[in-house]
Structure 1
Amino acid sequence: MTSILTNSGAMAALQTLRSIDRSLETTQARVSSGLRVETAADNAAYWSIATTMRSDNRALSTVQDALGLGAAKVDTAYAGMESAIEVVTEIRTKLVAATEEGVDKDKIQEEITQLQAQLVSIAEGASFSGENWLQTDLTTAGGSETKSVVASFVRSASGDVSVKKVDYTLDSTTVLFDEGGDLGILDLTAVIEGAAVALNVNVGGVISQYTVAAFTTEEVITAGAGASTFDGSYATDGTNDYVKVDDDTWVIAVDQTTVTNQEVAYEDSGGSLWAVDTTNLAVATTSSVDTLAIDNSTTTTQLDGLLKMVDTALESMTSAAADLGAISTRIEMQEGFVATLTDVIDSGIGRLVDADMNEESTRLKALQTQQQLAIQSLSIANTSSENILQLFRQ
């Protein structure tokens, strides 16, 4: 049936043209944006997953920045610790040199003093972004303080998110100097014993056993400018008087007639009486790497004690440097992993929402052709009504 009121052909052609236009609009949007799923209306499930993963990727980007900051802090501390190890090693070398006979220990101490000052400079300078892992106030912190470096951003299967960190503890085994006390590696004191002998000494009327500084016969002979008097049981170098208390063992003494309330302990060959010098009773001294001092009176035994103390400090510093190196390596590996993970997530998001440009360009060309044909078809359908006029012509 032919009707001038209802043009079914035109209606069908228009419907087809509308459908083509919608498809063409969608394809053009994909081509211009590069996305197959740009909004939730395109595909709610994929859009939701992609949006979440993009958010996670931005968090990972922040983690990567934090890792860079953490790596800088660790590297600064490691560089400082490595330099400090070199300085303390040099101090040990100077102490070894001081054990050589005839060496001027006072001159060696001048070098050690400069090295100690360098240790302080290193510790003070090993700071990055306001944090110093080689020098801090451990006393106020209760003996230890934990420093953390952001390592990763994690989303669990349940959707919970968390930030993982790498911890490094600042304590007496990792910090060079404690600003609030003596807890640092280079602050820790050691008791350095000189050569000594235990004697019963009367001090103030009370007889007690004291550890008294002792000297060998050779040390007495070579003391000061050399012993000016030496008779086998008594000697003097013009500054100190010495009496022999055992085989090859001498102690500094005072003339019994010049003091009171002291035990008459020794008699020399001339019949003079001698007592232990009470000012020489304390022979144990405390020292640390940053306070150790030697002079020409420092004995070989004391130097051995100082060497042992420095070696102990070096062991702690080496261990701390190893820990810092391990953390640095871990951070470097984590930086690589985060970079790779970011790329993988980007790739995964692309598989979900990116448009296949080869496919979309082909579809666009086809739809443009279909659009032209639909327009032509609609034009033909619209002109069909005009044919009815031929029926009414005479």
Structure 2
Amino acid sequence: MTSLLTNISAMTALTTLKSINTNLDATSNRVSTGQRVSTASDNAAYWSIATTVRTDNASLSAVKDSLGLGSSAVDTAYNGLNSVLADLQNMRAKLQTALQPGVDRAKVQTEIKAIQDKMKATADSSTSSGQNWLSVDSSPSNTAYQATQNVVAGFSRSTSGTVSFSMIGVDVNAVKLYDVNSSSITTAATAGQVFGTTSLTGTTAFRPADATVANRGTADFSGTNEVAFSLSLGDGSTATITLNSSTMASAAANLARVTTTEFLNAINNQISADTTATPLAGKVTASLDASGRLTFTSTAKGSGTDAQVTVQNVAASGSNALIDVGFGTGTAGTDARTGKGSAAGTAVGKGILDTVDSTTGYSVGGVGVSSTAIDISGLVGTSGDTTLRNIITQVEKAIAKVTDAGTKLGASKTQIDGQKTFVDSLMKANDRTIGILVDADIEEESTKLKALQTQQQLAVQALSIANSGSQNVLSLFR
């Protein structure tokens, strides 16, 4: 049936044409933008994930910039340290020259002064992005100073959405050469130590010249042979250590040939097992020093007699009493030997080069005419030579410290560069993730576009044919 009011064929052709046009628009958009998901309506889940990853990449880009600035600051400080290190080596050579008889030390001092000025200028100019890590002002009033400079090295987002940043810290206090501010440095105390007079294996107890080679370097604790001495600490703790066949039984495999290791174990076993009113357990240990001497070390580190340990002979029984283990062979109560550690203290420190050495009264990097600047022009005679040698030693220490500072900066540089490489690779991985989610397959989309354009032309022709049907009906009324 043909109707003048309802053209079903035209309606069907129009619906098909609209559908084709919609698909054609979507495909054209993908071809022109290169994305199959460009808005949330295209695919809400993919669009959301891609947007988050893009945000992460923007943050990583900022981190990469921060690492670049940090790397530049480390490079600047490192180059400054290298230059100063060369100057210190040159200064050491000048000072060593000044030790030679007949050298005009006043002229050498002029060269040293020039080297000091150059080192200070190098440190002052080692600035990157407004940061100077070699010449600082750590005064409390200088709020811009940071003892540790943190470089943003990365960021992470938890499942709850909380963002945290990781840092690479550079210890400025460990690399600074000059500091306007003087700070108090705590000097660690040392424990009390007392040493034997000779190597343990060289004492008569350990038979160094025994006719039997296998006996040499070992002690005979079989029978009635015995060693006895008292240990006293500054806090009043005291105990008598007795080594014989009974007390050595658990430590030695062969009582006739006790090694130095077994001997030490037996002593420390008695110290640990001491249950007297003033026990030594945990307060003193026996060991051998680098020369093989019997050594007793206290754990106390304080002033007065706190860090003190005393070894004293006591009566030993047996026809062949083995008293001599490096602490004398006198009678009981004699040959006492005491070792005392240093107390903790404080010293005034600045940078590596402007801290005044307590021995020489000079600072390696002192500049200008001041009481702290190295001045060898007036050093004469034996005392002058001694002071000059102390100054050379001071410069050697400064070289070691600057070298150590360069090592630390080098390690920080390696860490920063490694993080830069990682961040760069992470950004590329994120780009690939975004591409997988939202990028269009251009080959597929261009093929589809050509097919849709053909379908559009056919749909237009079909709609034209459907609309011409009513015109054919009119011819019936002519």
Q: TM-score of the superposition, structure 1-length normalised?
A: 0.72
For residues 375-394 of structure 1, the aligned pairs below 5 Å read 375-389=460-474
The one of 428, 432, 437 equivalent to 1:352 is 437
Counterparts of residues 140-159 of structure 1 (less than 5 Å)? 140=140, 145-159=147-161
Tell me the equivalent position of 2:44: 44
Alignment of 1:24-103 (within 5 A): 24-103=24-103
- 1:323 is displaced (CA, Å) by 1.0
Alignment of 1:12-31 (within 5 A): 12-31=12-31
Which moved further from structure 2: 55-64 or 314-323? Answer: 55-64
Cα shift readout 1:20-55 (whole Å, capped 9, x = no counterpart) = 011011111111111111111111111111111112
AA of the residue aligned to 1:381: A
- Superposed displacement of residue 310, structure 1: 1.1
Answering whether residue 458 of structure 2 is matched by residue 373 of structure 1, we say yes
Query: Could you tell me whether the CA contact under 8 Å between 1:138 and 1:183 is conserved in 2?
Result: no
Q: Structure 2 counterpart of 1:191, which letter?
A: S
Where does residue 326 of structure 1 map in the other structure? 411
Give the Å deviation of 1:189: 2.0
Distance in 2 separating the partners of 1:191 and 1:61? 50
Q: Which residue of 2 is the match for residue 204 of structure 1?
A: none
2:350 is aligned with 1:183: yes
Equivalent runs, 1:291-330 vs 2, <5 Å = 291-295=373-377, 296-297=379-380, 299-330=384-415
Q: Which has the higher helix share?
A: 1
Aligned residue pairs: how many? 300
CA distance in 1, matches of 2:352, 2:429: 45
- Runs (4+) of structure 1 exceeding 6 A deviation are 141-144
**Distance in 1 of aligned mates of 2:131 and 2:421:** 25
Letter in 2 for 1:359: E
Q: Is the 8 A contact 1:139 1:183 kept in 2?
A: no
User: SS in structure 2 opposite 1:287?
Assistant: coil
Matching residue of 2:138: 138
Is the CA contact (8 Å cut-off) linking 1:134 and 1:177 kept in structure 2?
A: yes
The answer to which of 107-116 and 139-148 deviates more is: 139-148
Deviation at 1:339, TM superposition (A): 2.1
1:287 aligned partner: 362
Specify every segment of 5 or more residues in structure 1 that has no aligned partner in the other structure, as ranges.
193-284
Letter in 2 for 1:98: A
Deviation at 1:359, TM superposition (A): 0.8
Per-residue deviation, residues 173-198 of structure 1 (Å, max 9, x unmatched): 32101112241111222233xxxxxx
Q: Structure 1 residue 335: deviation in Å?
A: 2.0
Whole-Å separation in 1 of the counterparts to 2:444 and 2:33: 14
SS in 2 for 1:66: helix
* Secondary structure of residue in 2 paired with 1:41: coil
- Residue 77 of structure 1: how far off its partner (Å): 0.7
Amino acid at match of 2:176: V
One-letter amino acid matched to 1:287: Y
Where structure 2 has 5 or more consecutive residues not aligned to the other structure, the ranges are 183-348, 366-372
Q: Distance in 1 between matches of 2:156 and 2:393?
A: 47
Q: How much has 1:4 moved relative to structure 2?
A: 2.9
Give, in whole Å, the separation in 1 of the partners of 2:155 and 2:358: 49
Matches within 5 A, 1:242-261: none
Q: CA deviation at 1:389?
A: 4.5
CA 144–288 in structure 1, closer or farther in 2 if over 3 Å, else same: farther
> Among residues 154, 167, 170, which one is paired with 1:168 in the alignment?
170
* SS of equivalent to 2:374: coil
Which deviates further from its counterpart, 159-168 or 124-133?
159-168
Q: Distance in 2 between matches of 1:309 and 1:368?
A: 87
C-alpha displacement at 1:122, in angstroms?
0.9
Moved more, 75-84 or 144-153: 144-153
Deviation at 1:139, TM superposition (A): 4.2
Name the structure 2 match of 1:114: 114
1:159 aligned counterpart, secondary structure: coil
TM superposition shift of 1:102: 2.3
Q: Compute the displacement of 1:157 (Å).
A: 4.0
SS at match of 2:361: strand
Counterpart residue identity of residue 288, structure 1: S
Give the distance between the partners of 1:37 and 1:355, measured in 2 at CA: 8
Q: TM-score, length-normalised on structure 2?
A: 0.59
Deviations 1:247-289 (A, max 9, x none): xxxxxxxxxxxxxxxxxxxxxxxxxxxxxxxxxxxxxx51221
Deviation of 1:100 (Å):
1.8
Specify the structure having the higher radius of gyration (Cα): 1
- Cα root mean square deviation, aligned: 2.1
